[in-house]
Structure 1
Amino acid sequence: MCNNQNFHEDYLGCQGSNDKKSSLVMDGRILDGSGDMSSPLKHFTNAKKRINNIFLDIGKYIGEFSSFIDDVEKNDDETAVVDDMVRNDILASLEKVNGIKDMISRNHMKVVFFGRTSNGKSSVINAMLWDKILPSGIGHTTNCFLSIAGCNGDGKNGDDTKGYLLCGETEERRGIGSVTQLSHALSQESMSSDSQIQIFWPKTKCPLLKDDVVLVDSPGIDVSSDIDQWIDNYCLDADVFILVANAESTLMLVEKKFFHQVNEKLSKPNIFILNNRWDASASEPELMEEVRQQHLERGISFLADELKVVTKQQAKDRVFFVSAKEALQTRRNKLNGKPDNTANMAEGHQARLMEFAKFEHEFEECISQSATRTKFEYPSQRASRIIDALYSRAQWLHERSTQLIQEGNNQKMYLEGRLEDIDFKMKFITQQCKESIANLATEAERQVRRAMTDEIRCLPMLVDEFQRPFHPNHMVLRVYKSELYKHVDEGLGRNLSARCSSALQKQINKIRGEMIEMVRPLLIPDSARSPESESESSSVDAKIPGNTQQQKSVRFFRSLMRSASQQPTFDMSYDIDCASLCADFQEDVGFRFSLGFTQLMARFMGNKEARRMRLGGFAADASQIAPTPPATNYHPGLPEDHVGVHGRAEPVMAEDVLWSLTSGYFKFTQSHSTFFVVFIGMIPYVLWKAIGWRAVAFSVVSYGALYAYERLTWTSNAKEKMLKRQFVEHAGDKLNLVITFTSSNCSHQVQQELSGTFAQLCSDVEDVRNDIQDEIQVLLKRQRHFSTVQARAKTLRNKAGWLASELDSFSKAFLSAPPVYQENGTS
């Protein structure tokens, strides 16, 4: 870009043709006195549009991220893929982005004009607006700050196409015509110097306002001492400062002091020095160059040496010599379609017009670059940090979900392996437990059978232990027998329990413990076992890796062990029920003379069962012998075998008597009654042969004496002994018949007890299998959830990468290097 001296020399070289509008071609762009040129402000506009679109995408992205977090938390379980920190980061990022979006949408390029009173600040702004909007003239004119921004001119209030203004904090719109009344120092309604009037001028009437430029006119810096407040209120967010100086004088200390204060509060502000009223130099053409060089050197020295905001080489392009009055007149004529009236303009006006256009171009390039960096660099950097943080979060979620998927697959494989192991081992355990139960049941039956046989042999001693008052009365006998039955029941049960129950209980506990130990590996996995005792719950819990199913298995197994240890002792029921078993017992406690005919016949022939034994013994199966029904009427004097069902004696058949007599003499039996009768019968014969009738008399006397002795000794004790002896014989026969039944019943009880324990263990194993299957289903559901999280996190990560590349592209395009403008104004 050429400096002012080169520009002046080029202008002098093209002064030859006054009949044509002078023009200057510079860097491919056409600059003429009308100010028609390609605007570099498009750079800021394009940057603002681009970054707004980026932040719009960032806002949508964060909204999508937030929705994703909500979905994850809604379907999340104890695994907790996301935590409160992630959610808070997302909400904070969304709030930051919305704040940055609002700030960017309000951002504009702000240019503040300062200078002493009557230096032409308002005239310069009018020339840039191509119309006389602000009050201008000699003396102190502008009394307050005037902010000029563009409006769309939509005509909603009828005067928008002509512009409007807002005064103070009110939203009431007023016409442009009232700006002179409110801002002119000579007006009675003029506002204070620290107040501001906002003027909105249609963008269609001023190309400069189309690109978000706000021009701020200020009162003269020499009319107020409250400069610091001005700087704080209107200068801290300014992008460019225009110092409008009077070319007829020089830079004053008040102007330098003001910008020194600005430089202290802002870091290297962008300052342009505009030497206005340069048309006065035409009256002294011989000194024009010297004065110009003097102003240029002082301006360069002020910018480079005093303020140190630019280098000396850069400062040459920050000092301009213009005539705002001529520029405004020329532009208003062009805007109204009138020809240029150069008759009343001083010599060299065309060069001054082009200098004004060049100033606008340089100012636009500077403000575009400065505003783009100051307005968008920090937001883009903050956005980059936000995107980087969100990218890290998305990457973490992707890695976390990937890790959880892998852990879920490993856990699923482990659980499926456990199911297969449980099914395989349960077949072996079931077979082994059934064999153990069957063996113990057989052993229990054998032990009970042997113990019961021994107890039947000892039944007389058990009956002799029974001591109760005895009387042959029928009612007393009924109570006596009832208590005798109860005594025998309790005694047999007690003796059998002492002989069998304790040993069987030990064997049952042993087999139960073996079954629990075999099932234990199926209820609790190896990884969850503790080397300490199962009762030490803390040590077990400490070694369980955070697995819900394993914890449940350990707690379940511990409960099973406690229930097994607290299970009541197995109480075997022998269920003899002597009262029912001996219900047909009929005692015979009447007097029976031992040498009576009936007794002799009974002893000689034996009872009915003895006769049957002589005829060939019992039937093949003792259980086939029907029990003798109880007699309803008892007749003393008749033997038990000859008492009928209705209380009548059974008749003795002749063939039975003959056969018994014959067999009694010729066959050897176990009945000692036969030998005794034969011996007694031979005594009288021997005595008769030896001594005759004396022997007969002796026999008769002896017989009578024996009868009298037995009759006298037939007391209640003898009757009780007779009853007990009869009961022992009867109960022994009955108990022999139920040995098999009782032993089988005990065997069944043992089998049922162990089968119940094994069934409970099988139920517990099935519960574990169901828990494992349920956990597999939960794992499958979680795997699907994690896969969705993984896919969406990957998408969000890629979007974050794309947004980061967009921000990087924006920085390279708008923040790194100055743009190169084409003739159409695009960058």
Structure 2
Amino acid sequence: MSGSIIREKPTMLGPSRQDSVNNANSPLKLFTHAKTTITEIFKSISVYVGDANKFLDDVNKSDRNLLTNEKYKEIQQLKEKVNRILSIISRDHMKVVFFGRTSNGKSTTMNAMLRERILPVGMGHTTNCFLQIEGTDKAEPYVLTPGSDEPKSVSSLGNVGSALSREKLDSDSLVKILWPKEKCRLIRDDVVLVDSPGIDVSANLDQWIEQHCLDADVFVLVISAEATITVAEKKFLHNVAQRLSNPNIFILMNRWDATANEPEMVDSVRQQHLDRGLEFLCDELHICDRQEASEHRMFFISAREALLKRNKDPTSSPRTGFSDGHEERFAEFNNFEHEFEKCISKTAVQTKFEQHTNRGKEIISILRDTTSNIANRSQTLKQEAVQKLTDMDEKNNKLERELRSMTETAKDKIRHVSEDVYKRVAQTLNDEIRRLYTLIEEFDRPFSSDPEQIPLYKRDLHRWVEERLGSNLQTRLHHALHSSLDHVHREIKDRVKGVIENNERKTLVDSIVPRSDFAVSYRLDCLNLCSDFREDIQFKFSLGFTSLWQKFVQNQKESITGSKSNYELTSPSTSSLLSSTNDLLSTANNISALTTKSGLVALGGCALVWRSVGWKVLGVVAGIYGCLYAYERLMWTKKAQERAFKRQYADYASSKMKLIVDMTSGSASAQVQQELSMYFAQTIRYVDMEKDDLTDSMKQKKIEIDQLLKYIDKGKKLKKQGDQIDNELNDFSKQYLSSESLTNTNE
């Protein structure tokens, strides 16, 4: 809202009042300007309340305890209150009630002020009910009667409002006369005039006051100069004073033109009326002091003459109906109008707009305090949220570092355990391979050399070796492996629980139990591994030439292989010692070779002996050789064949299994690594969940901070907007409601 909507107060009239209808300096303009100004201010208040309600709707939905439900409901009702005040302001007007006894000239006085014969006048009791004259923007006047919204012609006023009519209304009924504003300055300036029945024709004075007088700004008591203030008139004003604090009352001594017939009595009669009026206003009602009452509240007029001057009949003579001294009486009437206009404008502005101004200040104060409190509370919450966000960011970074550290540590642990498992399995498997001969000897199944039974025997032997070897490995390695796994499991669990803060997740981590059925699988697959095994269980004589030759060749190969191995494994410092040992071994091998060769020499010698010694000796030797052959042949039983088969199988299987030691150890290591990795993944996911929750909380906290920043910004803007409107109301109070302003109005 830019700039001030307070307008310059119009200049007040001087003592000499002009009769021009378009007089822009009329005191009544004060009310018009004040009404326009306060209307614009309350329109701004309405916009302000709407903006504040939108803001508070958003705040109320945020569920941050920034606004109580009671305060929210209270502020929601302010919009309706402002609209109601705007509606009241649009209907606000300056109201004056004319009262007095019957035929004292109340209607004539009003017609003179309106400069036109509007109300019915005449001799006797003329006005039967309350007649209210107010302005309308329509071009033609009309009348509204009680209980009907149908406009009626002004010509019907004589029938409904006159006491002489047969269609009489109740004395407390109100007939509204809507007169075009362009025809009358008073009406155009929001003045409403109310004519009342004579207070001497009805006893319902209290009911009249309650229905038609409580909102009046000025009361005009019209008294006939030929009489004096009666008890009925005093009673009415006393009742008014009891209900209204310090009412504004004017006393008009009408028909003062009658004193023209008795000029010598004018001053004494005037003083008598003045004394009685001052006594009543000042001493009984205590409305004002005597000087103010004598100068500004009591006037001696002739309403008939004033009406004739302002609404002249073109056919009448200029002096028709005028008595001596009419100019002074007309000036007195003008002076009354001027004082009346100043008083009613000042009173109406103060009584009507002061309440609106105070109510507007209350509304602004409520909204400004509420929005300011929300802004301040939001500022506090924002600071707390920023601190929490900082803490969460630090915690998130720490959690990220812990997560990386745990992952690296777990990888190292798993790798270390996997390598240990590899070594353990390889060592144990080599031990079992060395014990393979013993293991195979334990295989107990009937052996048959039948070619059809041999494959079945080998199949069962394959299965036996595979099962027993795997079982032995399992037995020897189970405890050590599971002990290592349990240790790593505990370390991982304790590390994860140390990072997690959520107790429920800690419980879930505790509930993760490693697989109870986990066991390293040592599948050797002997069936395929030894599928190329070919047994040789045919009988072979140990002293036969083939056997002897095979032993000789085998010894040579072993001698060469052993020499190379020893040479490769020997360090330079022990080379001299091993060199002498190799010489001894070479000598022994040579001797063995010579011994073997001596067998051949012996055969050759046998041939020479046969030539030299004859058949007897040769026969004895041949007999011994034959006995040896026969003995070995007889000893070549199924048991011997089975032992030979198992020995051959053990040799073959040992050589093959040595080839798969690395593969089997690697497989076991991979299984352990997979098991530990799975367990680590199961536990570490709760750390990831903790981190995800923290990330989500940080995002939510950022949204909350952004929202609080909006609240702070909007709250400050609304407070500034409220301050501007409050300044407008203060300026309005200074310009229209302050004692200085009211003093200037009276000048």
Q: Same fold (TM over 0.5)?
A: yes
Q: 1:356 to 1:571 in 2, by over 3 A?
A: farther
1:29 equivalent to 2:6? Answer no
Aligned to 2:481: 504
Summarize the alignment of residues 52-451 of structure 1 with structure 2, pairs less than 5 Å apart.
52-69=39-56, 88-153=73-138, 155=139, 160=140, 163-311=141-289, 314-316=292-294, 317-333=296-312, 341-342=318-319, 344-418=321-395, 421=398, 432-451=409-428
Asked if structure 2 preserves the Cα contact closer than 8 Å seen for 1:142 and 1:185, the reply is: yes
Cα deviations across residues 476-510 of structure 1 (Å, max 9, x unaligned)? 44344333323322322232223224323332343
- Contact kept, 8 Å, 1:34 with 1:353, in 2: the verdict is no
In the aligned structure 2, how far is the partner of 1:93 from the partner of 1:674? Answer: 131
In structure 2, what is the Cα distance between the partners aligned to 1:678 and 1:569? 68
Could you list the per-position Cα deviations for residues 162-193 of structure 1 after superposition, in whole angstroms to 9, with x for gaps in the alignment? x2222234333333222223211112334332
Q: Distance in 2 between the 1:566 and 1:708 partners? A: 61
Q: Measure, in 1, the Cα distance between the counterparts of 2:31 and 2:13.
A: 20
Give the secondary-structure state (helix, strand or coil) at the position aligned to 1:798.
Answer: helix
Q: How does 1:561-600 map to 2 (within 5 A)?
A: 561-562=509-510, 564-565=512-513, 570-588=518-536, 592=539, 595=541
Query: Is this contact kept in 1: 2:13–2:27, CA < 8 A?
Result: no
Q: Deviations over 1:752-800 (max 9, x none)?
A: 4445666778877777767666666665555555444433322221111
Deviates more, 1:722-731 or 1:34-43: 34-43
Q: 1:472, CA displacement in angstroms?
A: 4.4
Q: 1:742 aligns with which of 661, 664, 677?
A: 664
2:455 equivalent in structure 1: 478
Find out whether 1:51 has 2:30 as its counterpart: no
Take 1:577 and 1:83, find their aligned partners in 2: how far apart are those partners? 78
Structure 2 residues without counterparts, runs of 5 or longer:
1-11, 567-585
**TM superposition shift of 1:291:** 2.8
Q: Describe the shift of the 1:612–1:326 C-alpha distance in structure 2 as closer, same or farther (beyond 3 A).
A: same
Pick the aligned partner of 1:813 from 727, 735, 740: 735
Residue 455 (structure 1) aligns with: 432
Cα distance per residue 1:202-224 (max 9 Å; x no partner)? 32332211221111111122222
User: What is the aligned partner in structure 2 of residue 552 from structure 1?
Assistant: none
The CA deviation at 1:139 is 0.8
- Closer, same or farther: CA 353–566 of 1 in aligned 2, 3 Å: farther
1:548-697 to 2 correspondences below 5 Å: 555=505, 559=508, 561-562=509-510, 564-565=512-513, 570-588=518-536, 592=539, 595=541, 601-602=546-547, 605-606=550-551, 612-616=557-561, 666-667=590-591
1:65–1:259 distance in 2 versus 1, CA, 3 Å: same
Tell me, in whole angstroms, the C-alpha distance in 1 between the residues paired with 2:716 and 2:407. 51
Q: Is this contact kept in 1: 2:305–2:321, CA < 8 A?
A: no
Count, aligned residues: 705
- The alpha-carbon deviation at position 404 of structure 1 amounts to 4.5
CA offset at residue 275 of structure 1?
2.3
1:56 CA drift (Å): 0.8
Secondary structure at the counterpart of residue 337 of structure 2: helix
By how many angstroms is 1:120 displaced? 1.1
Query: Could you tell me how far apart the structure 2 residues matched to 1:678 and 1:324 are?
Result: 184
> 2: CA distance between counterparts of 1:750 and 1:130?
116
Amino acid at match of 1:253: V
Q: Is the alpha carbon distance of 1:43 and 1:426 closer, same or farther for their aligned partners in structure 2, counting shifts above 3 Å? A: same
* Counterpart-to-counterpart distance in 1, 2:598 and 2:481: 49
Counterpart residue type for residue 724 of structure 2: W
Q: TM-score, normalised by structure 1?
A: 0.74
| Paired residues of 2:99 and 2:220 also in contact (CA < 8 A) | yes
Helix, strand or coil: the match of 1:174?
coil
Q: CA deviation at 1:729?
A: 2.8
Contact 2:95 2:215 in 1 (8 A): yes
Residue type matched to 1:346 in 2?
S
Conserved in 2, the CA contact under 8 Å of 1:585 and 1:730?
A: yes
State the 1:234 CA deviation: 1.3
Structure 1's unaligned 5+ residue stretches are 1-25, 538-554, 622-661
Alpha carbons of structure 1 residues 471 and 194: separation in structure 2 relative to 1, 3 Å: farther
Residue identity opposite 2:97 in structure 1: V
Tell me: CA distance 1:263–1:78, structure 2 relative to 1, closer, same or farther (3 Å): closer
Give me the whole-angstrom Cα distance separating, in 2, the residues matched to 1:432 and 1:777: 30
8 Å Cα contact 1:111-1:240 kept in structure 2? yes
3-state SS of 2:193 partner:
strand
Say what the alpha-carbon RMSD is for the aligned residues: 4.4
SS at match of 1:377: helix
Q: CA deviation at 1:614?
A: 3.8
**Do the aligned residues in 1 keep the contact of 2:30 with 2:345 (CA within 8 Å)?**
yes
CA contact (8 A) 1:605 1:664 kept: no
Q: What amino acid does structure 1 have at the position aligned with 2:665?
A: S
Structure 1 residue identity aligned to 2:146: G
Return the offset for 1:566.
Answer: 5.3
Higher mean C-alpha displacement, 130-139 vs 273-282: 273-282
> Matches of 2:440 and 2:746 in 1, distance apart?
129
CA contact (8 A) 1:275 1:319 kept: yes
